[in-house]
Structure 1
Amino acid sequence: MNSLKLPDDAILIPIDMQQAFDAAPWPPRWNDRVDENGLTLLAAWRAAKRPIIHVRHDSVEEGSTLRPDRPGNAFRPGFEPQVDEPLVTKSVNAAFIGTDLDLRLRRLGAETVVLFGISTDMCVSTSVRVGANIGYRVILVEDACDCFDLADGASGVVPARDVHRAHVATLRAEFASVVTTGEVLAALRGAEAA
């Protein structure tokens, strides 16, 4: 039985669902369902007429594939904000740092944020941690996140799936409720039925 409850003030925040992550120099990713699950969340959230705030990484680093003047900065197909959905741009790993995301959420009266995106161990994790530390109830949709194989500094590689698993475990222990796409869909259906 699904115990997830989504208050009316819950805001969906997709993080860095951008095209750059599909090509070099980015290492291999593990979650081949990240787009499917993310698009499912967006469609259900929109159907429920709930607010969405999109986050995009606009890198200021020379040569980054996420710079605004590079094709990789563009949203992955289907993840573009719709007309009434605001966009927050950032240049660091946390969606709350150097942006007006916190102000936007407070003006909406939001206390709960539902996050997903790329990558689990970097911008998603950092945003979850900061969001929790400044007082939001954070819900992480772990199967709508993805991350990359990670060099371990000792000539080895930590597989992306293991990186994801470790970060989700840490976030669950201290910073967020961790759920699946299916649990969010069930909670949305339950809220509509109530």
Structure 2
Amino acid sequence: MKDQPSPIPLVILDVQDAIDRPNWDGKNNPGYVAVIQRLLDLWRSNDWPVLHVKHDERTPTSSYYVHGPWNAIKEVVAPIKGEAVIIKHENCAFIGTELDATLKGMKAKQLVLTGVVIHNSMDATVRAGKALGYSIILPSDATTAVPVVGANGKTWDAKTVYDLTLAILGDEYADVMSSDEVIAQFT
């Protein structure tokens, strides 16, 4: 272990039962939840801060609908006593939430962001976080993508969406690395 444990919070974004609904099929990195669990175990074993961001969608047809049967945080990464749950209603975890205030209250200038999906809520959160002055570590194997269909009907497979989004975010907005690299950095 390094002399000083990391006070950097681990943020788990939108990892709810909803992500296993059929409209989210075709994920390129189906092992992402196990990677998040591994990071979560490290953070918990060191008593480092963990923040859960839960999407409570107001649209009844959404798989993330606030009153829907799939809205719960996945049991395998569910919060334990002392871990904050921040509720969001938009794609970005900083818009209309307590995330920024919570991070500022912790005096956090950096965070490790995990969750779903890289080209939607993760992307929006990374970009907003960077604009707010945060340094964001993005473990590439602790997220996933799904296929994207454009307005013209063209489909991009999940791996292409994932690779391109990580390349864009890693170029300017986040420090993209593997979970092994994150763990090595903090242990």
TM-score, normalised to structure 1's length? 0.90
CA shift, 1:32, in A, is 1.5
Of 36, 49, 57, which aligns to 1:38?
36
| SS, match of residue 72 in structure 1 | coil
Which residue in 2 is equivalent to 1:62?
Answer: 60
Which residue in 2 is equivalent to 1:159?
Answer: 157
| SS, match of residue 87 in structure 1 | strand
1:150 maps to a residue whose letter is: V
Which residue in 2 is equivalent to 1:188?
Answer: 186
Q: How does 1:84-123 map to 2 (within 5 A)?
A: 84-123=82-121
CA shift, 1:7, in A, is 7.4
Aligned residues: 184
Farther-moved stretch of structure 1 (165-174 vs 73-82): 73-82
Unaligned runs of 5+ in 2: none
Farther-moved stretch of structure 1 (99-108 vs 21-30): 21-30
Q: How does 1:4-23 map to 2 (within 5 A)?
A: 8-23=6-21
| SS, match of residue 53 in structure 1 | strand
Say if 1:7 and 1:112, in contact at 8 Å, map to a contact too.
no
* Cα distance in structure 1, aligned partners of 2:75 and 2:103: 26
Say if 2:60 and 2:68, in contact at 8 Å, map to a contact too.
no
Is 1:144–2:142 an aligned residue pair? yes
CA shift, 1:69, in A, is 1.4
Which residue in 2 is equivalent to 1:47?
Answer: 45
Say if 2:5 and 2:46, in contact at 8 Å, map to a contact too.
no
CA shift, 1:20, in A, is 1.1
2:137 maps to a residue whose letter is: I
TM-score, normalised to structure 2's length? 0.94
Say if 2:12 and 2:114, in contact at 8 Å, map to a contact too.
yes
Deviating above 2 A after TM superposition, structure 1's stretches of 4 or more consecutive aligned residues are 6-9, 24-27, 152-156
The alignment yields a C-alpha RMSD, in angstroms, of 1.4
* Cα distance in structure 2, aligned partners of 1:176 and 1:26: 25
2:174 maps to a residue whose letter is: A
2:159 maps to a residue whose letter is: R
* Cα distance in structure 2, aligned partners of 1:122 and 1:49: 30
Of 56, 77, 80, which aligns to 1:79?
77
Is 1:29–2:27 an aligned residue pair? yes
